[in-house]
Structures are given as structure tokens and as C-alpha cells.
Structure 1
Amino acid sequence: MDRLIYSKFSNERNSKYAIETSIVENDGARWICKKPLYEEGKQHFENMKAAYWGLATMFPKGELAIQPYEEASDGLRFPYVEGTDMESLLHDIYNNQGYEAVLSKIKEYFNMIKKYSSTEPFQKTNKFVQMFGDFDFPQETKCGKFNNLDYGFANVISSENRQTLIDYEWTVDFPIPVEFLLYRALHYYVYTCPESVAFVKTGIFKDLGFDEENIEKYLKMEQNFQNYISSGKVSLGELHESMGQKTYNIHELYSEYCKNETPGMQVYYDYGEGFLHENSYFIKPEIDENGVETIYIKDIPKNALRVRIDPRKECSILSLIEFTADNDKELQEIMDTNACEINDDNIYVFDVVDPWFVVKNENFSNIVLSVSGKTEKYIFKVATQIRENRNLRDKVNIVEKEYNEVINSTSWKITEPLRKLRNR
């Protein structure tokens, strides 16, 4: 009998593509099970079966194995592939070997995909326009005989000198530029991985051959594809925005109720064992009329080697107003942070969910930290200042497009109250 381990419902999609995905265990063996949520979704599963045979024919097993499927009474099931996904491998490579080694690994993977997915010329078809929009590409643009939109690094499992592609749900038999497929894989990796700031700052998209003009086109294609998948369905966010009557947001009400109780910034002391949660505490900042938040850290233990301050618990952009010790010691020049500083204007971009400032304890008694989190005000300033720096000009449009894509999305708008709650 199957023992359920995990289950996910993709029911925000159009009913033709809505599926349930589960992980089950039976007699010690694990399986990925997928089934349509609606009768009209059965054709999507027929397409998945055709996708397997198409990709398995296109790629030699020695370079990229395709996860096989078995027929099930209510859908398809796939054997669970043991190993390490490529996202995790890239993270380890970055920490142990650095950025250039990450580039080399990604280029190796991309070149392998291109080798077997560049056999057909691009021809704009009605299906392509319906799914991605009416876009033109140069005559030399190459495509595969079968084109998989799920070449993402999380879908590639390495084990025993073999790479296996474990998701090919969105594979089609009409031409799609292979460069778009590769950009899509890189896009979703870069903007979700722990090294996001470093990769964007260094220029990973340009280093891998993606220019701004094509990126702009690819982002529009991706947006159209997401609209295509969800056509006929209204998400909770869209439903919320379509309702005309006044609503009360539970997150804002709760935040107002407990704002005097909610901890603000977290302070850690390192006694030689790193920053442990048990060696930390919360300080609620004082907030002035301009929204500047200030905390006062007093009586710092003399045996603390370092002091760490977490000003937020989510991605954010902060202006550093003051960071001093014992009233006059400037800490900004000696601090470490996981943010990207924009020029010399004390603006720090934290594209990680755990922002921090760290300073070595030089027998400090007290530390004062003041920051401003007026994100909307500083986003414009960030973009303007980057434009003025010619060395970073190539990266501006990437950052701005990604930011605009996020802030204009329904999910960003509907989660605004939650972000406000977490920032208090």
C-alpha cells in the first residue's frame, strides 16, 4: 500500500493543466505520482508521454537520462531518482571553488543542451504565438525537435556519473529558441539562490551570453506563458483585486494589535562558536517621524568576538543612517554584510531572506544602528545611481526589469501586508 509523503495541488492553472503531484513510498521504493485534477487534463498527460519518448530519443543516456514513467490507473508515476540536484551542486561549487567554477559548470550543461537542441530552424507557428506571444527571431535561431521548458537546475539530478532530467511536463514539438529555454533555467536559479546578489552584481547573465534586448523579450515571453497556463482561472490575488467592496486585511489588523509585542531587530554575539540562536536577542527599534529605525545595543560582553545585527527577516533595501560604537567609532568601514552596497550612498540591497551586518568586537561597550527601510524611495535612487556608473550599466536593465516584474505581480501586491507584519 502506498504511504503518502508529500502532495501538491497545482490547481491555480487552467483546468487542462491542473495536476496533483505526490511522493509515495511502497515496499521501500519511492515514486513521484502525477494525475490530472479534471477530465480535460488527460490530454496533457498524453503529451507528457510523448515528451518522454521525444527527449529520450534526442539525448543520449550517457549525457542526459530522462526519468521514465509508468502508467497508473489515474495518471503517471515516475521512479524517485536519488542523487544531488544541480542547484545544490552549484552552491557547493561556489563556496569551494568560486564564481568562475560555477560559470564553467553552467556552460558545460548549456553546451550539452545546445548540442542536441539546435537541430531545427525557428519557425513561428500559431502554437508558439498562442503560448508565448508574437515575437520574431533571427533566421539563424536554432531549436530542438522537442523543446522542454523545464531544463531548470533543480530538475537535473546527478548520481553515479549520470545526469537525469526529472521534469519534462512542459515539452512541446514546435520550435522554441533554445536560448530562451536556457535563459529560463538561469533566470529562476539566479533569482532564488543564496548567491543572488553576488551573481547579479558580477554579471552572470552577460557572462553566459544573454544580452539585454533578448532578456527583455524573454521576460515578456515568460509572462505570456504564465498567463497561458492560468487562462480561465482566477488566483486568490486576482480575486482579491477584482472585489469592489471594502475588505479588512487580517495581517494588518493583527500587526496593529501586537505591534508593541513584536520583536524588531535581532542581535547575535559570537563567543567563538559562530552566531547561535541561543546567543541572540531581539531589540525593538525606536522609530522617528521620518521612519528611521534606531536600536541601542548596550553592555556588549567583553568575551564576544563579533556582533551581528539582523535588521530584517526578508529581502529588503535599507539606507544606513548611522552605525557607530561608543558614540564616535564609525563601523561602516570595518563591517561585513551580505548586502550589495550601491555606490557610496549608504544604500544596501539585501536580496536574501536573512540580511545582516557583522562587526568585530574591539572592546566596544555600546553600538548604535539606524536604518531607513523606505524601499519605494530608494529603488529609484538605486536605479539612477547604477546608471551613472558605466561599468554597471549593462546590469541596470536586468535588475530593474526583475524588480518591476515582481512589484507589478499579483503575488507581490497580495503579500504586502505580510511584509509589513514581518518588518515591524
Structure 2
Amino acid sequence: MNVYSVRYSVNRKKEYQIKTVIYEENGIVSVIKEPYTKYGENHIYNIYKNYELLKNSAMNLAVPILKGNVIEFPFIVGESLDEKLIKHVNEEDIKSFKDKIIWFKTMLEKDELIEFIVTEPFERIFGTDHSFVGSKSLSVSNIDSNFDNLIINSNNEITIIDYEWVFDFPIPLDFILYRSISSFISKYQLPRTFLEAIQDLFVEMGITKNLLISFDKMEQNFTSFIGHNTQMYSNYLKNISSYKNSNDIHIFEQEINGYLQLFWSSNEIFSEDLSTKINLTTENQKQFIEIDLPESPINLLRIDPTTFVSDIDLYGSVIIGEKELNIFDLVISTIDCVIIENKETQKGNVISSSGDPQILLKHPLLNNITQKKLKIELSYSKSIENSLSMAFNVKNNEIKDLINKNEVLEDEILNLVQKKEQLSLETINLSQEINALNVKLEESNRVIQEKVETIEKIITSKVWKILKRMKLVKI
């Protein structure tokens, strides 16, 4: 077996945590999903049931095979709707971009449509907003219809490769469209002209700003329901009309080499709106990057140096007014990466362990209202990706084993607690029985004592003594 990738979806409630593996065996590439812990077994079965719910869809489905608590899909080769859309962005072809999204909506509308009504499952998962009553809805909704989950063949047919979240109660069709577009916007930082094109599309489709705000609340409620510890999508409405980015020309060359992304924040909350992406050049080639930062106060910076597991040689500085600071002197923490700093050269070696390494920077001078700039020199190598992926896979399996052992211990503790509670109940019952017997014993002792006293009185009486002398009684 040749394993291409392993992904752990563990930033959810434990009953939704799964592991996804893409692998090749005997020349056949497949995708398997399995529970990360025993608590996720029902979720895997639900994915299989989703296939049954969707099999009458106008779109094709990657056909699953359920093997115990593991579900397997064929790997579908082709170009995704996501890839087609980003090509139109690269070519600055707004018309084709809008036409593709409209075409996608017509594909959604080919499935069974009903009027939206309020249901208990909808309120429990998506909230109590009832402004959608009467709107066009799907009887069965795959809200996982992100553009990168839709593979298009030469006959313009769509195959859905992921349908983890499917619901058989009314959900507004426009919410599914909104969610797909929001995912696309969160993945790429679109030029202003394309954001405006999306705004125009929503207006043409009758999707008002108030509806979009309601959809955003639905998404927040959904991510809370499944237990995401971070928001999957950002509210793209925020400051969209004033969107500016001096690096537009760098962003959508969509190279296979991924990109570096820089975030800045004044309140310790990061968003795509306050960030910029720079495409990376080819492997083992030095690249020089300069990014102008806002002159307004900045509380935190975050550098995501690559979008893959890699070994990165990094050197950089933050220029604040006339002062230049080494970026490694500003580092306060890292996520999914480690930094090995060379104090003599002031350069660092960054080892990323995932596709989302993050370096957090902080310095009091960043709060100054003055000119600021980030300068970086970097080169990267992917040669360690396989070995690191295998190592982290081993560690994740070890963690999984420890979690399973911990779950066994938790079950044992629960059983002992239940036994203790049972014994406590039995002890209480026994105590009550003992108390009742003690009461009876005390009553018996009292009766006996009374009889003893009566007998004592009799045998000491004059009549008894006379009878005794007359030998009419025997002792």
C-alpha cells in the first residue's frame, strides 16, 4: 500500500472525529474514512446512509463501500469546479466565473424542491431564524457541496466526492449556494472585481444582505453543533465594499507551489480580510518578499510560511519606522511547526508538520502609528514530507491508542462508580434493616425486662413464700 495523504478531522466533538486516508494499492487509488475513536463509528455509518439519501440526486456520487466501521470511496480523477473557477479568476474572465456559479445553482435545482418549513432538527442544528419560511428548499440537502468536492467530467456531469453532512429536512437552497461560495472565498483571497461580481450575483438571484447575514448565523450555529473550535468560514460581507489589496497581482497565479500568507490584527482575532497571500516559487529556490503593513496599531502578526509539510530556511525582519527587528525576536508561539534558530546568522530553520504552519509575532512597537513593513527571504524543501508524514501518522496512531485506552479506563471508572453507587444503596438498605432489627431487639429486651421484674415481684411476695412453705410450688 502506498499512502498519499492522511488527514485527521479532530477539531470537532468526539462523535464526529474521523481520519481520511488516500492510498494506492495494486494500481487502484482509493479514499477511506474511519472513526478516530470508537465514538465516531456512528458518524461513519451516517455517511454511508447519506449515500442512500442522495442516490436519486441529479449529480453523480462517489459510490461507497461499508467495511465494518470503515467506509471506502473510489478516488475520482478530474477537474473540480473549484479549479475551473480559479482559472477564470486567473484569466480575469468575470463572465465565465459568474456563468459557472449560475450553472451550479441550476444543478442544485434539478433535485426535489419544496417550500421551507420550520422543523425541530433545523432549529437544533441551524438556529431559530424563521425568515426563510416559504423559500425554495431541497428535501434532501448536502451542505458539503463545496466547489472542491465537485468533480466535472468531459460531459459536464458532476460527481460529488464528499457528502459528510447531509440532512433530510428542508434547508434553504440559497444557503447551500452561500456556503459553497463562502468556502471558496475563505480558501482564496479574491481580487476586488470578483468579490463585486459575487455581490452582483447575489443581487441577481434575489439573495439580500439580510438573508446573507442570516445564512452566516446558520453557519455559526452549525459549526457550534459539530464542535468546531474555529470558525470554518468568515463573514465575507465584512468590509467587502472597502476591500483593498496591493498584492492582487501575486495572488492568483495559482502555482502548485502553494503560498505564504501574512495576517495582522489589532484585537488578537485573525480574518482573511486582514491578510495577504504571496505565491511561492519553486522548491530550493530563494525568494524575497516585501509586504507593506497598515500604519495603524497592530497587536499581533501571523506568518503562515507554506501550505504543506516542508523544511523551510527563513530569514526576515519587521521594519517599524526607522527600527528593524529580527522576526525571531518577535516570536511568541508557533502552531504545527518548530523553529531552530541560528543566533549567529539570525536565520531560522522552520519545520512544518502540517499544511497550516503558523508563527505568531508580537512587539510593543507594532502598536505605533507609523510605517511598517515585513521583509522575508525564504526557500523550502518538500523532501522531508513523506518521512514527517509517516512519523506524525505513527504519533497520531499512538495518540489514538492512548485515547482508546483512556476511553477503556473511563468505562472501567464509570462501572466502578456505578458499583459503588449500587453498594452504597445496598449499604443504606442494610443499615435500615439493622436499625429496624435494633428497634425490635430493644422492644424484645423491654418485654423480657418487664417479665423478669414481674417474676421477681411474684417470688418475693408473701403469698409466694407461704405457698413455698406449704410446698404447693416447686422451684
* TM-score for the superposition, normalised by structure 2: 0.50
Unaligned runs of 5+ in 1: 236-273, 275-311, 319-348, 356-368, 378-410
Q: Which residue of 2 aligns with 1:404?
A: none
Alpha-carbon shift at residue 374 of structure 1 (Å): 3.7
SS in 2 for 1:107: helix
- Which of 131, 136, 144 lines up with 1:137 in the alignment? 131
CA distance in 2, matches of 1:25, 1:416: 31
CA distance in 2, matches of 1:163, 1:376: 47
- Which of 156, 169, 191 lines up with 1:174 in the alignment? 169
SS in 2 for 1:16: helix
Q: Which residue of 1 aligns with 2:407?
A: none
Answer yes or no: is 1:418 the counterpart of 2:370: no
Is contact 1:317–1:375 with CA below 8 Å preserved after alignment? no
Percent pairwise identity = 24
Q: Which residue of 2 aligns with 1:189?
A: 184
- Which of 336, 341, 353 lines up with 2:277 in the alignment? 353
Alpha-carbon shift at residue 316 of structure 1 (Å): 5.8
Q: 1:21 to 1:372 in 2, by over 3 A?
A: closer
Is contact 2:17–2:35 with CA below 8 Å preserved after alignment? yes
Answer yes or no: is 1:13 the counterpart of 2:12: yes
Residues 68-89 of structure 1: per-residue CA shift (max 9 Å, x gap): 1012244100000001111111
Q: Which residue of 1 aligns with 2:104?
A: 109
Answer yes or no: is 1:148 the counterpart of 2:142: yes
Answer yes or no: is 1:75 the counterpart of 2:74: no
SS in 2 for 1:314: strand
For 1:35, the aligned partner's letter is E
Answer yes or no: is 1:225 the counterpart of 2:146: no
Q: 1:350 to 1:98 in 2, by over 3 A?
A: farther
Is contact 1:10–1:20 with CA below 8 Å preserved after alignment? yes
Residues 341-373 of structure 1: per-residue CA shift (max 9 Å, x gap): xxxxxxxx8854129xxxxxxxxxxxxx99552
Alpha-carbon shift at residue 375 of structure 1 (Å): 5.1
For 1:215, the aligned partner's letter is L
**CA root-mean-square deviation:** 3.4
CA distance in 2, matches of 1:137, 1:85: 33
Q: Report matched runs for 1:233-312 at 5 Å.
A: none
Q: 1:375 to 1:122 in 2, by over 3 A?
A: farther
Answer yes or no: is 1:4 the counterpart of 2:3: yes
Q: 1:73 to 1:423 in 2, by over 3 A?
A: farther
CA distance in 2, matches of 1:85, 1:102: 14
For 1:133, the aligned partner's letter is G
Alpha-carbon shift at residue 122 of structure 1 (Å): 1.3
CA distance in 1, matches of 2:191, 2:139: 33
Q: Which residue of 1 aligns with 2:209?
A: 212
Q: Which residue of 1 aligns with 2:246?
A: none
CA distance in 2, matches of 1:33, 1:96: 35
Between 1 and 2, higher relative CO (CA 8 Å, sep ≥ 6) is seen in 1
CA distance in 2, matches of 1:25, 1:87: 24
Is contact 2:17–2:36 with CA below 8 Å preserved after alignment? yes
Q: Which residue of 2 aligns with 1:90?
A: 85
Q: Which residue of 1 aligns with 2:381?
A: none
Q: Which residue of 2 aligns with 1:43?
A: 42
Answer yes or no: is 1:373 the counterpart of 2:315: no
Q: 1:10 to 1:191 in 2, by over 3 A?
A: closer
Equivalent residue pairs, number: 264
For 1:25, the aligned partner's letter is E
Is contact 1:157–1:165 with CA below 8 Å preserved after alignment? yes
CA distance in 1, matches of 2:295, 2:261: 14
SS in 2 for 1:214: helix
Is contact 1:52–1:66 with CA below 8 Å preserved after alignment? yes
Unaligned runs of 5+ in 2: 231-252, 254-258, 266-272, 280-289, 299-334, 336-356, 364-372, 376-475
Is contact 2:138–2:171 with CA below 8 Å preserved after alignment? yes
Residues 324-349 of structure 1: per-residue CA shift (max 9 Å, x gap): xxxxxxxxxxxxxxxxxxxxxxxxx8
CA distance in 2, matches of 1:192, 1:68: 27
CA distance in 2, matches of 1:85, 1:419: 36
For 1:145, the aligned partner's letter is S
SS in 1 for 2:15: coil
- Which of 152, 163, 166 lines up with 1:158 in the alignment? 152
SS in 1 for 2:158: strand
Answer yes or no: is 1:314 the counterpart of 2:261: yes
SS in 2 for 1:354: strand
Q: 1:315 to 1:66 in 2, by over 3 A?
A: same
Q: Which residue of 1 aligns with 2:241?
A: none
* TM-score for the superposition, normalised by structure 1: 0.56
Is contact 1:94–1:101 with CA below 8 Å preserved after alignment? no
